[in-house]
């Protein structure tokens, strides 16, 4: 008998960085090196706060070895998102299980049917 698990994929809008989140002053482009990884960010002209767009945060997490970030890729006619192995194991998703997709607004519901 098949058992069923549910996944929910949600999209996050890219946030534009135009003002400092601390003091609302203007920002200027800057480059910061953290653990040898070059990151493009924005520095507040008034208070010096440095903010990074989400793409740079994810780049840092991927390059510094953090586990739960994956790049969305295209393979043939499909868009592919790799599940981090530890997370998949935690909920019991295995290679060969079947995924059924259903879109609704900005979300995709995925039902995983285990063989």
Interface with Zn ion by CB under 5 A: which residues?
20, 22-23, 25, 44, 46-47, 49
Distance of alpha carbon 29 from alpha carbon 12, whole angstroms: 23
Distance of alpha carbon 11 from alpha carbon 9, whole angstroms: 7
Nearest approach in angstroms of CB 18 to Zn ion is 12
Nearest approach in angstroms of CB 89 to Zn ion is 43
Spatial contact of 29 and 20, defined as CB atoms under 8 Å apart = no
Distance of alpha carbon 28 from alpha carbon 43, whole angstroms: 5
Quick one: 3 or 24, whose CB is closer to Zn ion? 24
Distance of alpha carbon 65 from alpha carbon 115, whole angstroms: 32
Quick one: 23 or 91, whose CB is closer to Zn ion? 23
Tell me the two tokens of residue 22. Answer: 């601390």
Nearest approach in angstroms of CB 12 to Zn ion is 24
């Amino acid at each position: 008998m098949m058992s069923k698990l549910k996944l929910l994929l949600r999209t996050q809008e890219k946030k534009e960085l135009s003002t400092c989140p601390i003091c609302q002053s203007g920002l200027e482009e800057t480059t910061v090196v953290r653990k040898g990884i070059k990151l493009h960010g924005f520095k507040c002209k008034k208070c010096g706060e440095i903010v990074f767009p989400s793409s740079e945060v994810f780049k840092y997490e991927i390059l510094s070895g953090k586990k739960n970030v994956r790049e969305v890729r295209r393979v043939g006619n499909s868009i592919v998102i790799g599940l981090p192995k530890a997370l998949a194991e935690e909920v019991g998703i295995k290679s060969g299980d079947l995924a059924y997709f259903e879109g609704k607004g900005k979300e995709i519901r995925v039902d995983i049917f285990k063989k």
